[in-house]
Chains A and B, each alone.
Chain A
Amino acid sequence: MASFERFDDMCDMRLKPKILRNLLSEYIPNEKQPLVNFQSLSKVVSTISTHKLLSEPPSSSADQKKLQSKPSKSAVDDWVERLLALVSSDMPDKCWVGIVLIGVTCRECSSDRFFSLYSVWFNSLLSHIKNPESSRIVRVASCTSISDLLTRLSRFTNTKKEAVSHASKVVLPIIKLLEEESSEALWERIVHLLSTIVILFPAAFHSSYDKVEAVIASKIFSTKTSSNMLKKFAHFLALLPKANKGDAGSWSLMMQKLLISINVHLNNFFQGLEDETVGKKAIQRLAPPGKDSPLPLGGQDGALDDASWNSEQLIVSRVSALMFCSSTMLTSSYKSKLNIPVASLLSLVERVLAVNGSLPRAMSPFMTGIQQELVCAELPTLHSSALELLLATIKCIRSQLLPYAAFVVRLVSSYFSKCSLPELRIKLYSIIKTLLKSMGVGMAMQLANEVVSNASVDLEEFDAVSSKTPSLTSVAVLKSCSKKRKHSANSGAEAENPAVEVGVPHNHSLKIAALEALETLLTTAGALGLDSWRERVDNLLMTTATNACEGRWATAETYHYLPKKSSTDLVELQLAALRALLASLVSPSRVRPAFLAEGLELFQRGKCQAEMKVAEFCAHALMSLEVVIHPRALPLDGLPSLSSQFPQSDSLASQKHNTPGLNKLDRVAGKWLANVDVPCDSGIQRSLDTALPLPETKRLKLGNDLVGSENVQQADVPMKVPESTKESLGHVSDRDDMVSEEGYREVVSETREGEGLAAKDSLMEEAATGKKQESLGESDEDSVPSLKADDYLSSDSDIES
């Protein structure tokens, strides 16, 4: 019967139940029928989400629709029944299919259905987690599906309490599972489920907080945990303080524990490499003697077990995980005020960065060569984590870094001079970018020289590789730079760097980082370097951009044998170089940018490139540069002109300046008129027109008829009319302008014809006095300047005549 039905199109509502039933019979196993193949499952899931097969129209819709939707409802009913049957099956594979599809159903089904069924689903999923008999894949799938179920549940606002009680039922069983099982796949899903709960229902951890923390800590300190899982556990641990009522106290406690634990591990790791008092001081600062200090994470001795005494690698990966955890805590958002132990964090970073693997003279007899070798192999990882921690600290406290900013600047610049590994330098550049962005001009004053000298080393070495010229220039640059900086020892060390790094021409990420740092410097403080570093940077960026684009476009084929990443890397480099070049061209300068022509040509050519990202940016750059080529002096709407002035002889200031001001006046006014754009011109013209009647009236009042007619002719050339007259009328609204203008025009035409002088007189008088009265009415002050202007005008016309 049904097969004779025809559908309107692919969006027909009646189509949905058909497809769903078809899926159900073809691909989903039932009690008797075994699972055909797993691959079809992803097809089922994608079909469901494309056609929204599980969505149901709300039950309150019109009766007609109810009739239509009736078969669809029963299809979804069938679907749900089948899933429940599968979930309770004995066969693990069928059970697995049922569980994962419940997860999908939680996302897709209508809210009514979800609301009526979620507790049934929840209980059957939970029973699989609790049941020690159930197989591992079933448990893994259950964790994922419960996570999706809770996610959906969190969007219903009216069932908060019930949701929390459901969520809290899951916590202990999965924690138990975490302790007992050793499968990574299961751990991963459990951690994901825990994260979901801590984000959505932090209250669910209320009673089990300490237990959860202890178990996670023990996992982090376990030798069996892989580095991938370490990171995931650390991430969850960072979220955990949200659960303890989300208050600042639990956050601080966790941070303190982490820091103590990190320092305890470092004390062991750095033995023989640093003064022992450093470690003691660090611990003392974290746990002042008078106060109760918390135990370090994971128990009494900070979980320094036998294994960690021996394996450097293990210590470093643990410390890195703990630092990652602290970084996450710093950057994730909290609902309450946080007390950030900035000093401890910064001194920890300083402590780690200070150890570079060299042995202090006094210590050398206590350390064997092989020990030093093991430590040095792991140090870069440790430094990288410490830099991440520094970055997170800066991001977290932003402008409040102020009292510590100078310390951070010193830390960064001294480490910059020591550090030659590209990965670490990239991190340093990103720290510098964050500092510049968050603290602005003041920070740029401190860091500019550091950024410029380091970036030129990193970029010029790239030039040296491409153009095969020795990096003499970079040394010269450094010398010129060291003159400006008082401690030249740093730059001396930097000069050694190129020799170390010249071997890595294919990896552009260091150059990209350097370019980005320069770009940020130019955007925050391009004007500050005008007398010092700016010229060098502009020069450097122009050559870098030219080399990045032209030299490499020609030889791009040489890179083709490399994997795909390398070619995108090149595009990234070109983009970074072009961005920085644009910044250098647009950033404020006193003269026309030296490389404007070259830059424009480069962007013009880049616009025609096949690589869309580059072409897109070049088009944008050309638009930004248009303002540089055609500087705009836009007229201000509503403010007719700015050239009129306020000569007021009774003021203290103009007594001094009045006389020279008079002579300058016309020149200045003329310049303004010559310079302004067309739209502005018309505005001025109109105001000039309105301004004219005033001198007119004055002369006419004097009875000087002849001069009056001359004057009118002169008025046809607005340039010569003194500007100062209009200030007295500037406040008159547009409507008045129009009236007077008309009146005036009439007058002019009459004058030209040379008749009706008497009539003209009266008209002029009317127009002008009317206006004057208005201006008097508006403000008392106005009368003073206008009178002055008259005085001044007569003298001016004397000069002219």
Chain B
Amino acid sequence: MEETTVIASSSFDCGIGSWDLKTGNEQLRFKQCASPSHGLTAVGEKFLAASQLRNASGSSGSVFFWFWNKPQVEVRSFPVESITALTANSEGTYIVGGGASGDIFIWEVATGKLLKKWHAHYVSVTCLVFSGDDSLLVSGSQDGSVRVWSLIRLFDDQQRQHQERTLYEHKFDEHTMAVNDIVIDYGGCNALIVSASKDQTCKVWSLSQGKLLRSIIFPSKINALALDPGGSVFYAGGGDGNIYIGALNSKSDYATQFLGSVSDPSKAITCLAYCADGNLLISGSEGGVICVWNPRSRQPVRSFTFGHGKGPVNNIQVVRKTIVGNANKAQSSWKRNVSSLPPPLEKYERKGDDTVDGIVIVDPPLSSDVPVYSSYRSADFINEQVKELEQQGSAATEIEMERLKLEYKKSILMNDQWQKNYENLLQVVMEEELNGGSN
């Protein structure tokens, strides 16, 4: 069974709110969180991670983890610099963070190891998105550049030394101002990437061709994007409080439609999320209101207020979780979780011999609580045995028969031989006896 949860965080310290999307009930509120935009992510189904704004002025950043069932911060880690964008792959095995200096970090969740760090942009990274199969990473930056990275190639040190290729697969530099959000559709290798920017445009890029397909102009700067996976349209949340609709295959240069706007028009839309289960669009605004829309009818369905309307919402994510069957099991899995807290993210890459200890920690599959069954064998066993008995004329027994026949013949011959010998011997003895007697 699955449940759909909406999580949201703010740049003020309002924690992380979570709501059941179906019923609209508020769930647990996770404490102590003030994250930058794109700084909140669910790591698989395991836990929540959010980078923190508080230390932004200092030299190091901070990233906190929460478990789904506990409001307190469970793990605190302090990367070398403040993390401006954070995301995780769909399995929840890697966490990727973009730093204020333009560096991107990849951590392994199970060990906390910093696997790789590279200089991706000249200035701060604003958003990070994994491609559908988690093999590519798309990053956007404050300077308007968008880059596509192949993770496999990043880890391939040997090839990098041999070939003088750039690290990235594609670079898109057409935006003139900061990139605010990036989404990528389900097109696989032929996917379309949409980026939204402060320069009042959204640009659609082709992953396979690595070039700009079209640029769509909006009446205001675009802060957030959400993609309707089946509809070839995207929703763009504007700085003017409106949600616009754009077409991926649009032939015109202008934004097309207008979905609706939040109650207070002076408050910009700051984040958007799309939930395919029920086809809902969720928007968050500077005014702290989270609004659920039905994009077909263009009506708001439901709204949540976050942080008593004080702080702006700047992150929304829709998370699908498998619900563990009964309370008893939930408790046991909770215990297991506690006993195996993920280690904090490490600050530095390991150098020298220590870099690869060659161990990968694999989590058990989620279905491991399903009872195991074994099959019955007796009936098959009887049939096998009966078949064996029926096959008396089979090759093996025939060969055995022939062998026995041969052996029998040999034995008879041998027997005759011995018989003869005995008789001969007897004769000799008899003769000798007779001769001796006569002597």
Contacts and interface: CB of A to CB of B under 8 A. Distances in A.
On whether the two chains bind one another, the answer is yes
Interface of A: 38-39, 41-42, 45, 49, 100, 103-104, 106-107, 141, 144-145, 147-148, 150-152, 154, 192, 195-196, 199-200, 285, 333-344, 396-406, 409-410, 439-446, 486, 524-528, 530, 588, 636-639, 642-648, 650-654, 657, 661, 664, 668, 671-672, 727, 730-731, 733, 779-782, 785
Nearest to B297: A638
B265 A780 contact: yes
Nearest to B340: A337
Given A154-B374, A402-B152, A340 B254 contact: no
Contacts of A644: 256-257
Given A340-B361, A588-B190, A642 B152 contact: no
B167 interface: no
B65 to A, nearest CB: 17
B189 A444 contact: yes
Interface stretch (B244-252, B410-418, B420-428): B244-252
A42 B386 contact: yes
A333 B190 contact: no
16 contacts: A148-B377, A151-B373, A199-B374, A335-B368, A337-B110, A339-B359, A396-B362, A399-B134, A400-B360, A403-B356, A406-B156, A442-B135, A443-B135, A445-B152, A647-B254, A733-B297
A548 B108 CA distance: 47
A525 B253 CA distance: 30
Nearest to B106: A402
A661 B190 CA distance: 30
A401 B373 CA distance: 31
A199 B252 contact: no
A727 B376 contact: no
Interface string B77-119: 0000000000001010110000000000000101000010000
Contacts, number: 277
Contact of B162 (A196, A440, A486): A486
A441 B162 contact: no
Given A49-B379, A651-B200, A730-B257, A440 B134 contact: yes
Contact of B189 (A150, A152, A525): A525
A398 B251 CA distance: 40
Contacts of A639: 231, 233, 245, 257, 295-296
Interface stretch (B31-39, B217-225, B269-277, B397-405): B217-225
B193 to A, nearest CB: 13
B89 A337 contact: no
B163 A486 contact: yes
Interface centre among A441, A639, A782 (most CB of B within 10 A): A441
B190 A642 contact: no
Contact of A399 (B89, B200, B209, B381): B89
Closest 7 CB pairs of A and B: A343-B358, A440-B133, A103-B378, A442-B135, A638-B296, A406-B156, A527-B208
B364 A333 contact: yes
A651 B219 contact: yes
A101 to B, nearest CB: 8
B105 to A, nearest CB: 14
B421 to A, nearest CB: 39
Contacts of A730: 257-258
B394 interface: no
Nearest to B116: A403
Contact of A781 (B134, B240, B385): B240
A674 to B, nearest CB: 12
Given A405-B152, A588-B189, A334 B368 contact: yes
B151 A402 contact: yes
Interface residues of B, number: 96
Given A106-B378, A341-B359, A342-B358, A645 B135 contact: no
Given A442-B136, A443-B135, A668-B252, A333 B365 contact: yes
B362 to A, nearest CB: 5
Contact of B253 (A285, A404, A657, A731): A657
Given A337-B363, A339-B361, A645 B377 contact: no
Given A340-B361, A403-B115, A781 B242 contact: yes
Nearest to A197: B374
Nearest to A37: B389
A151 B376 contact: yes
Contacts of A445: 150, 152-153, 169
Given A441-B131, A525-B189, A727-B258, A648 B219 contact: yes
Contacts of B108: 400
A472 to B, nearest CB: 31
A528 B170 CA distance: 13
B390 interface: yes
B188 interface: yes
A335 B251 contact: no
B110 A642 contact: no
A45 B376 CA distance: 13
B115 to A, nearest CB: 6
Contacts of B265: 779-781
B95 to A, nearest CB: 13
A195 B189 CA distance: 44
Contacts of B208: 527-528, 530, 588
B219 A41 contact: no
